[in-house]
Chains A and B, each alone.
Chain A
């Protein structure tokens, strides 16, 4: 029998992990919601930004906050580049072509990163003591990541609901054509969306950098789970993705304590497959 304190600790860690997963999922979902294109390579962009944080902080000796800003800025630039160079020409192509294009980008980034930086694992070492609250140990880095993730998501929420460009993004996600007739240039809305999605990838990169080491296959570790969370929550459904992040992170964290981390992922993916039969439109989809 497992000591309940370990389960509680796992649950707390699950919530911490869920924050960062939600950040990744919301970024991917935002882009899908507005552009109707799934950036399969989303987490690989995160990986590139993680390298930016690593090199600026560990090699050039920048302070972490400045390296972090560089990571976010690179995320924005990458988001814009992906949109202009890859998405714009195929915006009206069949979805399968778009998947192939962004999937191709994934392999391009992975291979190019391996070529440039080899497969070495590199980490931004910041020495933070673990925090003990009522017998539960929580890593400081995870707590900071969680708090910042939530703050960024609140920021995104306010951006989408309180600003005109955010409202236009929500409007375009509901009806592209009608928004153009009211004077909003859809291309501009797409560009802003890609920049915001890229910025979120950048923020996620910074928060992941202080917890995990980066390597060219980092996207393979977090990409599938991010995509799965988006589908589970209902593609394009922001609230659904947020809730699904925590469901998945809890399964992985608690499964990790009860059995092993690998088993946690097995259960999470098995649940995903079952849910695809039970609720193919996502957990919040209304039954037809």
Chain B
């Protein structure tokens, strides 16, 4: 579904991503992990069009999308969430999602249709559908849900979820992981999930790609990757325990 080959991004003399290649298969949840500063977010930025890659190709559903603008990429069915939620603070929660449903759609969507889709998505992520509430009334968990709802409202085929559950308590973390499972199960959306706390992610994803210092150091099933000496080294010896 998504084939990233030899993706490279340099900022001046600093190489944030160095010839990274990986593939995402339709219907899977792929984990993209690595320590802080390993290039996960840069990789997301390149794939979603926020940054133009320095070199390499990104093929999505057969077409090279490297260097396209984010709105074009969104219309092809690929969107992302941000690690730090970026809601439109002065728009109501419902408007935040409705505007995404309206502009993200591949075909022209009527206002009523967009509004209906927005309510559906809000319901799925478990946010109140009460239209007047502002995002500023939400807590950290609620803002994460809103971020996800906006991305889902655009009707993606592939979702890049920059989750980083760092700001959440264990209960919220588990429910966020569960949410991504439901997104795949109920909406059939393929997911790439970025995270640097590995334990939660490892229980949910089908496969893992590990980045370190801008290079891919491992790829495979969670169980095998967790045993990989290079991964253990990258995480400063912190071994991931899977029950």
A residues in contact (CB < 8 Å) with B: 164, 167-168, 170-171, 174-175, 177-186
Contacts and interface: CB of A to CB of B under 8 A. Distances in A.
Nearest to B150: A182
B71 A184 contact: yes
Given A164-B99, A174-B90, A175-B88, A183 B75 contact: yes
A180 B88 CA distance: 13
Interface stretch (B29-37, B103-111, B207-215, B217-225): B103-111
A179 B79 CA distance: 11
Contacts of A174: 88-91
A274 to B, nearest CB: 29
10 contacts: A164-B99, A164-B111, A170-B88, A174-B89, A174-B90, A177-B50, A181-B74, A183-B75, A183-B79, A183-B104
Given A177-B50, A177-B70, A182 B99 contact: yes
Interface in B87-138: 88-91, 95-96, 98-100, 102-105, 111, 114
Contact of B88 (A164, A178, A185, A186): A178
Given A164-B111, A167-B99, A171-B99, A182 B91 contact: no
Given A164-B111, A167-B95, A182 B90 contact: no
Contacts of B91: 167, 170-171, 174
Contacts of B95: 167
A45 B166 CA distance: 51
A225 B74 CA distance: 43
A231 B133 CA distance: 29
Contacts of A185: 69, 71
B83 to A, nearest CB: 13
Contacts of A177: 50, 70, 86
Nearest to B79: A181
Given A180-B49, A180-B74, 4 more contacts: A167-B98, A168-B99, A174-B88, A175-B88
Contacts of B98: 164, 167
Contact of A180 (B71, B111, B114, B150): B71
Residue among A177, A181, A182, A185 having the largest count of chain B Cβ atoms under 10 Å: A181
A85 B86 CA distance: 32
Contacts of A181: 48-50, 70-71, 74, 79-80, 151
Contacts of B90: 170, 174
B82 interface: yes
Residue among A164, A170, A186 having the largest count of chain B Cβ atoms under 10 Å: A164
A275 B71 CA distance: 41
A175 to B, nearest CB: 5
B103 A164 contact: yes
Contacts of B99: 164, 167-168, 171, 179, 182, 184
B47 to A, nearest CB: 12
A171 B154 CA distance: 15
B69 A182 contact: no
Nearest to A177: B50
Contacts of A182: 71, 74, 79, 99-100, 103-104, 150-151, 153-154
B237 to A, nearest CB: 37
Top-3 shortest CB links A-B: A183-B104, A184-B103, A183-B74
Contacts of B105: 183
A26 B151 CA distance: 32
Contacts of B103: 164, 168, 179, 182-184
Contacts of B96: 171
Nearest to A180: B70
